[in-house]
Amino acid sequence: MSRSGLRLKAIPFRAARGVHPISDVTTLRFSEGRLELTLACELRGSGKVVGLEVVFSEASGFRYLDELDLCRYWSSDAFPGDSYVLEVQQGGWADEESGLQGFEHPRREWLVVTGNGCVSVFSKDEPEVRNVSWLAEAKSYTSVHVEHAQ
């Protein structure tokens, strides 16, 4: 049993390299089932932001939460806190939804983790993850821009 009582089981999707404490989700775009996230992972001294682009081609659901709203995940003994993209195998949002709805609905769940905002995603397919970088602007590293296409 974990410290929090939650039986969370998650595994890193990419090689673990650590999550920078001031990292954040800088953009979130959702259109026709496609969810695109841009993460600012680290601000270099040159003013360059090093990050990740994470794309789920067929997301069936997602939720954005502050890292404090996921405190029960962090306090779980089985939480791998050193990777930006995790696959949740047990004890996450999918299990909560199945319990609330009173039936088993197999879903594949992913958790995109930063030092600030985090995004839980239902997607049957693995995400595409690639390294990105850009020059920092005053708002580009600390604010979240959310787009939802109608």
User: Do the Cβ atoms of 53 and 129 come closer than 8 Å?
Assistant: yes
pTM recorded for the entire structure = 0.82
* pLDDT the model gives residue 13: 92
In one-letter notation, the amino acid at residue 78 is: A
Classify burial at 104, counting beta carbons within 10 Å of its beta carbon; exposed 0-12, middle 13-18, buried 19 or more. Answer: exposed
pLDDT for the residue numbered 98: 65
Averaged over successive runs of 10 residues, the pLDDT of the chain (150 residues) comes to 57 84 94 97 91 96 81 68 87 69 75 92 95 78 48
DSSP strand E in the chain: where?
Answer: 9-12, 24-31, 34-43, 48-56, 59-66, 85-90, 109-112, 117-123, 128-135, 145-148
- In angstroms, rounded to a whole number, what is the distance separating the alpha carbons of residues 2 and 83? 20
Q: So what's the pLDDT on residue 78?
A: 67
Quick one: 148 exposed, middle or buried, by C-beta within 10 A (0-12, 13-18, 19+)?
Answer: exposed
